Structure 1
Amino acid sequence: MSDDSGLWLLAVGPVGATALYWALYRYYRNTDKSHAFERETDVMAKPVTGSDHKVDEIKGTQERRIDGDNVSAYRQRVQRVRGDSS
């Protein structure tokens, strides 16, 4: 019997590891299926409107959060501007 018959078994490890790495990379990165926002999305920029005025001033507070903050209410904070699509 020849000693070369078990050599293929040594090649299975690196080849299998490379195949697993590539499969996981393709699965999690999805580079071929990702949305190219810069090329495929048309965003019409408009001037920023609104006002900025001081409401109150609190000094020396020990609170970690502000009462009534909306940091977890994403849909309330960020809303799509409805308007003409031209």
Structure 2
Amino acid sequence: MSDDSGLWLLAAGPAGATALYWALYRYYRNTDKSHAFERDTAIEAKPVTGSDTQVGETRGTQQRRIDGDNVGDYRQRVKRLR
């Protein structure tokens, strides 16, 4: 009988590890509470509006940079249309 009393301690290790893994998996994955975008969201497509106006033309590959690029001032904000 004294040999069997420590058997629960050996079984508690894998059982505890399994319970901890499952609890962490459920906490971080929470698949039962997540939003399924494809299933739950209805998207109604509308016709595309706008226009295509050609503003310039560049031929060949002689220019190494694009006019007006913001490589040197990368934190410049985009101005919103009002």
- For the superposition of Structure 1 and Structure 2, which TM-score range results when normalised by the shorter chain? 0.5 to 0.7
More helix by share: 1
Structure 1: which 5+ residue stretches go unaligned?
Answer: 71-75, 77-86
CA-CA distance at 1:55 after TM superposition: 6.2
1:65 CA displacement: 6.4
Deviation at 1:60, TM superposition (A): 3.3
1:30-73 deviation per Cα after TM superposition (whole angstroms, max 9, x unaligned)? 1111112222211111233334556688x435x37656355xxx
Q: From the CA coordinates, give the structure whose radius of gyration is larger.
A: 2
Equivalent-residue separation in structure 2 for 1:15 and 1:6 (angstroms): 15
Indicate the percent of aligned positions where both proteins have the same amino acid. Answer: 68
In structure 2, runs of 5+ residues without a counterpart are: 66-70
In structure 1, what is the Cα distance between the partners aligned to 2:74 and 2:25?
41
Residues 34 and 53 (structure 1 numbering): CA distance in 2 closer, same or farther, change over 3 Å?
Answer: same
- The secondary structure found in structure 2 opposite 1:6 is helix
Q: Do residues 46 (structure 1) and 46 (structure 2) align?
A: yes
| Aligned residue number for residue 64 of structure 2 | 60
Report the count of equivalent residues: 69
State the partner residue of 1:9.
9
